[in-house]
Structure 1
Amino acid sequence: MTKSGYPYPPDEFDVAVPGGAPVGVHRAPRSGWSSAWPFLLVAVVCAAVAWGGITLLSGDGGGAEASGDPSTSASAPASPSASASGESSGEPSGEPSGEPSGESSEEAPSSVTGDPAKADLTAGVQVLNSGGPTGAAGTAAETIIAAGFTGTVDAADDTAGLGQGYTETTVLYGATRADTAAAVAQAIGATSAIESAEVTSSPYAVIVIIK
């Protein structure tokens, strides 16, 4: 470029140095776009990276939720079926097993050995209340009479203590009076009949101890 075509005023860069070359040269000013495009490029790259990260994270979360929902919904029906099976199996096993108890099916052993059909209904019978409710002796005496006994049937309290040692209503009878004792026991529902020497020596064929 010639001196006449140089557009800049002379300055320290135009001073000649040994050899004839100038110290420096002027450059045309840079445009605004050339200064801004690097920053725009960086902003675009950062935005793209951020969008990709958000998309990746949201995709993983959706997959986790999708995979979690079926597992919970599939496991939920298992609990009702288990509870239903537990209830249905628990009810039948509990109630029927408790019903057949020994008390209802087994009867108390009976010591009555005589034959009520051969009883002497004219024999005397005494009923003693030895710890039973008030009036129990009289009630039992009436029951014996209603069963067909026509002999003497007395009711009294056990003042002599004949019923000591007995824990249930017992029919005591004298020798050869087992059949008559069986008829008395049948009338009042007693299950114990015992031969007693004291009854043999008494004016009664049968003495009932009410407990």
Structure 2
Amino acid sequence: MRSGDYPYPADDFDQVSTVGPRGAHRAPRSRWSRWWPFAVVLVVLPVVAFGLVTWLSDWRGLTGTDDAVITAPVDPEEEAAEEPEEGVPVEPEEPVEPEEPAEEPEPEPEPEPDLTRPVEVFNATSVTGLAGGAAARLETAGFSDVAAGNWSGARPEASSVLYGSEEDRVTAQAAADALGIGAVELSAEAADGIVVVLGGDYQA
């Protein structure tokens, strides 16, 4: 628009000045005004986050640090079955008796000597009366059927008591103990009972 076509009178604002800007304007912003919002975020946000975590850790429903006791629901019927009814006597449980240890079998008793078995005493030495004295000792020990005589076979080196069967072993041992003879032998020469042969080692 040309100046001649402007319908209003001229005022102060129509005068253009070359000195500098005129009218309302903003001053340049300082450095702190630009950075303080970021500083607030950096400081306030960690504090708020720490407070939120602390609050959540104190809430038992979220942390789960406390040992929660879970109680299973009790069936009313089972609970009623466990409790005895009033007025009904409860039978006491019978005590369990400890099992007795198994008894060890007793050893079979040793068979007794048969003092009625015939015993023949032979003198196989040159000492007179040796067989008679041994026969008397056997009778004193309880033997009832004892005979004395002289040995006709080979002279033995030591005295011995002979028996003809296993049944006479105990009786032969009893005769040997009564006469102090250590040798007790199973022999066919004593088929009818016990045979005692006195040698030079016999002590009358």
TM interval, short-chain normalised: 0.3 to 0.5
TM value normalised by structure 2: 0.41
Which has the bigger relative contact order, CA under 8 A and spacing at least 6? 1
Task: State the TM-score, normalized to the length of structure 1.
Answer: 0.40
